[in-house]
Structures are given as structure tokens and as C-alpha cells.
Amino acid sequence: MLSEPPAGKPENFHLVNDPLSRHKLAVLRDERTPTPEFRQAMKELALILVAAATNRMPTREVSINTPLVPTEVESISAPVCLVPVLRAGLGMLDGALALLPKATVGFMGLQRDEETAQPVEYYVNLPKNISEYFVVILDPMLATGGSLSATLDKLKEEGATWMSCIHAVAAGPGVERVCAEHPDVHFYSAALDPELDGNAFIVPGLGDAGDRLYGTL
Ligand code: PRP
């Protein structure tokens, strides 16, 4: 699985660019993909992306016994908190939980105002001791970066320090913004699209992820 910064992109942006994630992305981008298949592909892509996002998680040595002998093994050194950005981020939650079943789940409710493209917060529910967790933020779309930057500001305000984010598609302008505003956070995306249209939609993108996940087209 490749998760390197593409040429000319910030060091904290990682393109997850293996054949399987490209295949899942092809299903998501296709306008003919119906909601059940779209939802399934998003879940499967989230599983791949969350594996990439655990790359930098510190581990600690633990002494255990195999059925034969005592030995040292490695274990992720802090609990994980998954934070889907409502509502489209929920489409990545089951995939992420398949790989991290013991994770705590926090919620960030944000919606882009359709006129201004600015994020509006409507629901926040995070664990109180968020500073003790490795936090992975789930949001299929990184467009202008406004929603994600507001999410990261909020999480930092609450005490989070170790954070990574996963996205199905990220747009160049949003990547530049969040990487500059949050150089301490790492971003993993299955695609880096070049631009936004006049409505701040990612082009070529995959449309409105929330609407396609939940059939509200
Ligand atoms: C979408 C998407 C991101 C945000 C990206 O959510 O899931 O959260 O827009 O845009 P930005 O980078 O310009 O902030 P939306 O506001 O459409 O809400 P939804 O998930 O409820 O559909």
C-alpha cells in the first residue's frame, strides 16, 4: 500500500494509491453506482484507508506467552477514537470499526452552508478524555477544507494531540489549506483531485457523498 506525499504536495498529505483502493474509488466515482453498492464500496475503502492511517501510530512492547514460549510483541500504545464527520463520515465508520473494533466513537456534526460553503456546527459528542486517544477523523470528501479544519480546531480545543484523517477524495485547494493550518496532523486520501467547481464541489469527484450514501439525491 503506497501512502506517500505526491510530488509537490505537503509532507503530511498521503495518497493511498494501491490497485484495490483505485478499484473501490472507480465504483464510487461512477454515477451509475446505486446507493447499496456505493455504501458498500465506501465501507471497504474506509477499511483500506484506516489501515494506512494507523501507519504512524506508536506501539509499545508487551510481554506475552505464545502456546510455546514467552515472547515480546507490539501493541498500539493508546486507545483509538474514531470521529466521523456527519453525515457522510458515517459511511466510513463500519469499515473503520471492522479493523479497530475496540475503538471509541465520537461525533462531529457539521454541514456546509449551501450558499457560502462555510461549515456550520450542529452536533458534537466526543469522549471527555480525548487527549488520551489516537484520533482518526473520517470524512469521504475534503473539498475547501473548511469542515475538516473546523473539526480539527474543535478536537484540539478539547485536548486531542495525535490525529490522522481519512478521505475517499481530496481536492488540491483543501489539501493545501488543511496541511498548512494543521502541520501536526496527517491526511490520507485515495484520490487527489485538481479542482473545485463554482459550488465548491470536487471535480471530477464523486458527487455529494452524503446524498449518495443515504439516497437523498
Ligand atoms: C460534505 C463532506 C464534508 C464537506 C467537505 O459534507 O462530507 O464534510 O462537505 O466540504 P469542505 O471541505 O468544503 O468543508 P456536507 O456539508 O455536504 O454534509 P453531509 O455530509 O451531511 O452531506
Sketch the domain layout of the chain as residue ranges. Answer: 15-58+76-214
Closest ligand 1 atom to 142 CA: 12
Question: What separation in angstroms does the CA of 141 have from each of 25, 112, 184?
Answer: 12, 12, 20
pTM: 0.94
Distance from C-alpha of 147 to C-alpha of 139, rounded to nearest angstrom: 9
Contact 12, 183 (CB under 8 A): yes
Residue pLDDT tens, the chain, 217 long: 546 677 777 999 999 999 999 999 999 999 999 999 999 999 999 999 999 999 999 999 999 999 999 999 999 999 999 999 999 999 999 999 999 999 999 999 998 888 888 889 999 999 999 999 999 999 999 999 999 999 999 999 999 999 999 999 999 999 999 999 999 999 999 999 999 999 999 999 999 999 999 999 8
Q: Which of 108, 123, 139, 154 to mutate to test the pocket of ligand 1 (most atoms within 8 A of CB)?
A: 139
Domain 15-58+76-214 part of CATH 3.40.50.2020: yes
Ligand 1 midpoint to CA 209 (Å): 8
Q: Quote the pLDDT of residue 38.
A: 98
Q: Quote the pLDDT of residue 112.
A: 81
For ligand 1, whether the C-beta of 210 sits within 6 Å is: yes
Q: Quote the pLDDT of residue 47.
A: 97
